[in-house]
A and B are shown apart, each in its own frame.
Chain A
Amino acid sequence: MHVPDGFIDAPVSVAAGAVAVVGVAVSLRGARRELDDRTAPLAGLTAAFVFAAQMLNFPVAAGTSGHLLGGALAAILAGPYTAVLCMAVVLGLQALLFADGGLSALGVNITIMGLVTVAVGYGVFRLLLRVLPAARPAVTGAAFAAALASVPASAAAFTLIYALGGTTEVPLGSVAAAMIGVHVLIGVGEALITSLTVSSVLAVRPDLVYGARGLIKRPELRTRTVSGSGGAAGEPSGAGA
């Protein structure tokens, strides 16, 4: 969904740029609480994985393709503030190195593919975990729904920005319907890739999934069962092995 130069007029591009700058600045502060010596390199890897996955366009409908956006995935794996920074780095390097996404549209792209996907994706994820049982399948399912919702939300955000600053006069209702329609289909691909990735990491290192912290017990917490009598019954078997 990388917006090229010329779709959005200068004033709205500048305004979106200001929104992106504020979002990144807030995230730089917030990410401090998500990153430590161990998680910082892994968060960098999350950004690299999002970049790689974004290269893999999959067909969705007649003559149309889509690719992972990755905001929901990055938020679940690394935390929402870190995810915004991941997306900003990916989108910035794509525009600067690979001529993908207009330079004047970088603010628009960070807003719709960074801020919106992370906010909607992580919001849906946390909301679902509040009502679902604290177990691994729930985390995977919540990741699926979060990713699915994040893509049409991003398309809706683009349409809103186009309504404010689009350079060509077009019927907005039909643009909104077409944008959201095709991005629901792309969202299914996003949901499959996101839930597969999250469940893969959960299978080998559940402690590295930021969004599952506190839900899935870590091995360190097991020491108590050794000293207690008959503690084996309370053993959270297999979790975090």
Chain B
Amino acid sequence: MSTKRFFIVALLVSLVLAGGVSYYASSMPDGLEKVAADKGFDAGEKEHALADSPLGDYGVKGVENDRLSGGLAGVIGVGAVLLVSGGLFWAVRRRGVRMDLRTDPDA
């Protein structure tokens, strides 16, 4: 499989997971939320300062359909993470050296 094809397949998998499969994710409290509620240390919790932001809580404000709202938020998130981290990694990469042709992985 070529690197380009691998990239496209992995990107599609990420988009399908965030944009479609995420609708079926459990909405139960996560491990920390559950323990905090059980032990009573959620008392100090404050509302997120950006709770009403356009993508707050993984939904697009103004989109009524839950599946569409959450799916769009997921797709936007995957794109944003890819752009920001990809840009960062492109900026810090070592230029003109093929790391994979080195024999020592820790070199």
Contact = CB atoms under 8 A, between A and B. Distances in A.
A38 B96 CA distance: 10
A3 interface: yes
Contact of A7 (B36, B40, B53, B93): B36
Contacts of A140: none
Task: Kindly name the residue among B81, B86, B93 whose own CB sees the greatest number of chain A CB atoms within 10 A.
Answer: B81
A33 interface: yes
Interface string A74-115: 000000001001100110011111111011000000000000
Contacts of B7: 41-42, 45
Given A51-B77, A52-B78, A63-B29, A43 B89 contact: yes
Contact of B43 (A39, A65, A168, A204): A168
Contacts of B55: 97-99
Contacts of A94: 77
Contact of B11 (A33, A36, A48, A182): A48
B26 A65 contact: yes
Nearest to A186: B31
Nearest to B19: A52
B interface: dominant SS: helix
B41 A162 contact: yes
Interface residues of A, number: 81
Nearest to A179: B35
A85 B81 contact: no
A56 B27 CA distance: 10
Given A85-B89, A99-B57, A182-B34, 14 more contacts: A1-B30, A36-B93, A39-B93, A39-B100, A42-B3, A44-B87, A45-B10, A45-B82, A47-B82, A55-B77, A56-B22, A98-B55, A103-B48, A168-B40
Interface of A: 1-7, 28, 31-45, 47-53, 55-60, 63-67, 82, 85-86, 89-90, 93-100, 102-103, 155, 158, 162, 166-168, 170-171, 174-175, 178-179, 182-183, 185-186, 204-205, 207-208, 210, 213-214, 218, 220
A-B CB proximity, top 5 nearest:
A44-B86, A167-B44, A6-B46, A65-B26, A52-B18
